[in-house]
Structure 1
Amino acid sequence: MVEPRPVPGPGLAYTAHRPEYLLNVRCEHLSAFPEQPEHFVNWLRVTQTESCHFSFCSRQSYGRYLQQLISQVLEWPSSNGIRCQWHNQAAKSIRVLPGGRSAVVALSTGTEIHSDYVVMALGNFPPPPPTRHDLRYLRHPTYHGNPWTPGTLRSIGLDETVLLIGTGLTAIDVLLGLRADGHRGQITVVSGHGRWPAAHPEQEATYPSFYEAELAGRTRVAEVLRAIRRHVQLAQQQGISWQAVIDSLRPDLGRIWAAWPQPEQARFLRHVAGIWSVVRHRSPPQNAAAVQEMLDFGLVRLEQGRVQAIEPDADDLVVTVRKAQQPARQLVARHVITCTGPLLDYSRVEDAVVAGLRNEGHLVPDGLRLGIQTDEHGALLTAQGQASAVLFTLGPSRRPANFESTAVPELRKQAVALAQELGRRLLDDAQTR
């Protein structure tokens, strides 16, 4: 395991020591093991870590949970004798050896690891710049391109003005962090669609799946949307929330996405992805209530429009915003924070490992710029369209195949399937030697 962070396991999402950052999924659905759905809940009970309001716990608690699981893997061999070694440094390159059956991973200290299989679990990359021209603002000390950089919020004075770009879950986290720090200055949030993530209902409900009966094999976005709208109406007539209808489709979202030809997938991204993100990736009810309170008291002001330019002006930043068919307007703030979500386009990722594999033709971004082209097991497809025998990936990089590929329920399913596939290949390798 190659991981440069000081503690393996929590990664970036669950590292911050901020109790106000809550998980966006109920703890009942966050077990690390699909076959043990109560594992995380039982861990909370045994460790008495915290009481989870409406079943939404802090991310730092989940980080401790993952850290403990990883430490067990590192300290003791597994039942099949496999041992795990942690290299506390970064990888700077992956070189596929002639024949394509093994690779060498070069680390920042010069160490080289020869391996038959390499799994790239790279997670998310920081958001791309919100504008592509006049990039002087990227070097301005009060522009924050990555809201997760340690110390970002603590560098903001309590009375200084702040402008957030985006109204997704990341923006909600930033708002709650600023509130917890006692921030008093005006906060402006700019969004193209002007919508906040929907809230989870306080009580979770269920709705029967209608995928096999109505959605399997549907090749048009409009057909799927019509069926979903019909079931939302049926659910409401029964006193069931629309959220339950969406959640009933979660196990099959990958199959729905894969059934669409690429033009239909592109149509979804153009016309539906924005509202889908609002209804699918929801906020804990207490978070939604806190943001609404900040809006009601005027601490936060929402401005609808798209950012056209960001220009330094002494200690401040001037943000030009334009809404369709309206004149552009300029907003001034001391701090600007990009909260638009991670960079998905692997043709623009500058990470040395990614760039090296891309240049050698071992890693190919997909046509919709959502991630990496892979086969059904997560093996990288080469520039010639062949599945690599050594390079694999999982997580957000597999969005082209699954679209929904960022939350724990989807990631653990991928991880188990990939572990089983590599286990079979290792066994085959051992039997043929």
Structure 2
Amino acid sequence: MINVVSRFADVVIIGGGLSGTLLAVQLLRQPRGQRIVIIEPRPELGRGEAYSATELGHTLNGNAARMSVDPDNADDLTQWLTQFIDNGGWPESAEQALPVAELFPPRGIFGLYAQQRLAEARALGLRFGSTAEHVRAEVVDVQTQNGQVRVTLDDAQVWCAPRAVLATGMFPAARTAVKAPGGLNAAAVDPWDVQTMRTLDPQARVLIIGSGLTMVDAVVSLDRAGHRGPITVISRHGLWPHVRRQPPAWPDFLTAASDLSSPRQLMAEVRNQCRQALQQGVDWQAPLDTVRVHIARLWSQASERQKRQFVRHVRPWWESHHHRSPPPSDALLQKAIAEGRLTLHAACYLSAEGTTLTIRRRGESVPVQLHGDVLINSSGIEYDWRRVDKPLPRQLLARGLAKPGPLALGLLADDEGALLDSDGIASRRLFAMGPPLRGMWWESTAVTDVAAQAKRLAATLLGSD
């Protein structure tokens, strides 16, 4: 029997994308010596799935003024980006013809920004005796024993710490093995794989499942690869993202109307405010944007029945109206529509056999087949950890160390991010942040959400000794 030697840290962060990196930044800034270990299989920290993009056309879907990683300085990205451009970085920014605060930076450049903030925090941490080590591996198991969290990696390393944090980010359906029929990903081209798309016939018939922001990225990827053929998008509700604009400020009507509680009441008032805005010649996005800061409160206060109502009846419209497309990407989308190359079908995806899809169009009962040359799965994010076929989610749930969150979205946790086990007891050792808390706060993926969570969780971890 092999005797595995455990290594020790003060905090183990599972995941080194944006969530894990921002937590490390907050911990390193504290005047206290700590050994922080970040387990991340990718070669670089700070990028994760979202910010590993290399194509300049894959941009943030929010402008620089909305995407600061510093919860205490909303202008942090704008300031960094100004200096980056002044030093010769991203010369293509001139094409957007906008002030820096209104630019939509490429996601790869945003990854550089996150990495620089981590490097600065590491330098500061050294003054306090703190370090943040990147261990390049994947976590396959987590156990709690003797007041410690025992983290096992796919290379057989074992790390132990008083506290561990799940900062696993998102599980994109296009890159995640999920327990679902159809074998969709076996035949699908990755939405962000421009290199593979360059090998395709430029006139190939492309079928895309899903019409959210991943679909928008797929269209950008195809354009970058030189594709000029027909694109057919299949979406259950036949909706796709509105373009993000820069509307003026609008009064925070939800603070003034604190009695609004049900999804029905909220939707009625939002529509009313949008009508008022349009009557005044103001963009309808202005009042909708004021809802954003109240989502966590409204979601956490809602009953399970109300949450189900929201997900079933409101979610598609919330996603298309709130999670908007960056203007450069939307321009490509609209160009393809105007040329008659891109069409959208409101239909349910039933199965796939190679690049042939079986669908059922809305309002029809008889399934039909769509034949294409290329298939792309842009069905978004898999938030149900029970469906993610990876070792860590399987083991956490099997051991009873975690349980699915509300409506099976992410994991269940308390207000401080401590995971609740299968008996509903909050852990003193295991925590989560970012996308795994989708079910707790609904919006738990945006940069500003993750940054604020990182700051709160760092204070919790340091206060739990």
Same fold (TM over 0.5): yes
| Secondary structure in 2 matching 1:272 | helix
Q: Does 1:211 align with 2:254?
A: yes
2:359 to 321, 330, 340: 321
Q: Which runs of 5+ in 1 are unaligned?
A: none
> Structure 2: how far apart are the matches of 1:25 and 1:170?
15
| Secondary structure in 2 matching 1:293 | helix
**Deviations 1:66-123, CA, capped at 9 Å, x for gaps:** 122223344552554322111122222111114xx32111122222111011011001
> Structure 2: how far apart are the matches of 1:76 and 1:86?
17
- Say if 1:159 and 1:183, in contact at 8 Å, map to a contact too: yes
- The answer for the alignment partner of 1:163 in structure 2 is 207
Q: Aligned pair in 2 of structure 1 residues 126, 200: CA closer, same or farther (>3 Å)?
A: closer
2:400 to 358, 361, 383: 361
- Say if 2:207 and 2:231, in contact at 8 Å, map to a contact too: yes
- Say if 2:179 and 2:389, in contact at 8 Å, map to a contact too: no
- Say if 2:421 and 2:427, in contact at 8 Å, map to a contact too: yes
> 1:269-288, aligned counterparts within 5 Å?
269-288=311-330
- The answer for the alignment partner of 2:107 in structure 1 is 59
Deviation at 1:132, TM superposition (A): 4.1
Amino acid at match of 2:111: G
Q: Does 1:116 align with 2:155?
A: no
> 1:235-246, aligned counterparts within 5 Å?
235-246=277-288
Q: Which runs of 5+ in 2 are unaligned?
A: 1-37
> Structure 2: how far apart are the matches of 1:57 and 1:325?
40
**Deviations 1:115-136, CA, capped at 9 Å, x for gaps:** 0110110011131789944x35
| Secondary structure in 2 matching 1:21 | coil
Q: Aligned pair in 2 of structure 1 residues 109, 253: CA closer, same or farther (>3 Å)?
A: same
- Say if 2:242 and 2:324, in contact at 8 Å, map to a contact too: yes
Deviation at 1:400, TM superposition (A): 1.2
> Structure 2: how far apart are the matches of 1:330 and 1:415?
46
- Say if 1:3 and 1:86, in contact at 8 Å, map to a contact too: yes
Q: Aligned pair in 2 of structure 1 residues 245, 292: CA closer, same or farther (>3 Å)?
A: same
> 1:14-413, aligned counterparts within 5 Å?
14-48=51-85, 49-50=89-90, 51=93, 53=96, 54=98, 55-74=103-122, 77=125, 80-98=128-146, 101-127=147-173, 132-133=180-181, 135-136=182-183, 138-140=185-187, 143-144=188-189, 146-148=190-192, 151-201=195-245, 203-214=246-257, 216=258, 218-312=260-354, 317-326=355-364, 327-413=366-452
- Say if 1:34 and 1:412, in contact at 8 Å, map to a contact too: yes
Amino acid at match of 2:284: W
> Structure 2: how far apart are the matches of 1:280 and 1:157?
35
Q: Aligned pair in 2 of structure 1 residues 259, 74: CA closer, same or farther (>3 Å)?
A: same
Deviation at 1:324, TM superposition (A): 3.0
**Deviations 1:302-334, CA, capped at 9 Å, x for gaps:** 22211122123xxxx211121233232211012
Q: Aligned pair in 2 of structure 1 residues 136, 28: CA closer, same or farther (>3 Å)?
A: closer
**Deviations 1:385-414, CA, capped at 9 Å, x for gaps:** 100111111111111111011110111111
Amino acid at match of 2:138: A
Q: Aligned pair in 2 of structure 1 residues 287, 219: CA closer, same or farther (>3 Å)?
A: same
> Structure 1: how far apart are the matches of 2:178 and 2:286?
34
Q: Aligned pair in 2 of structure 1 residues 277, 271: CA closer, same or farther (>3 Å)?
A: same
TM-score (norm 2): 0.84
Q: Aligned pair in 2 of structure 1 residues 139, 239: CA closer, same or farther (>3 Å)?
A: closer
Amino acid at match of 2:336: M
RMSD: 2.0
**Deviations 1:217-271, CA, capped at 9 Å, x for gaps:** 5431111111111211222233221111111121111101112100010011111
Deviation at 1:14, TM superposition (A): 1.1
Alignment: residue pair count: 414
| Secondary structure in 1 matching 2:310 | helix
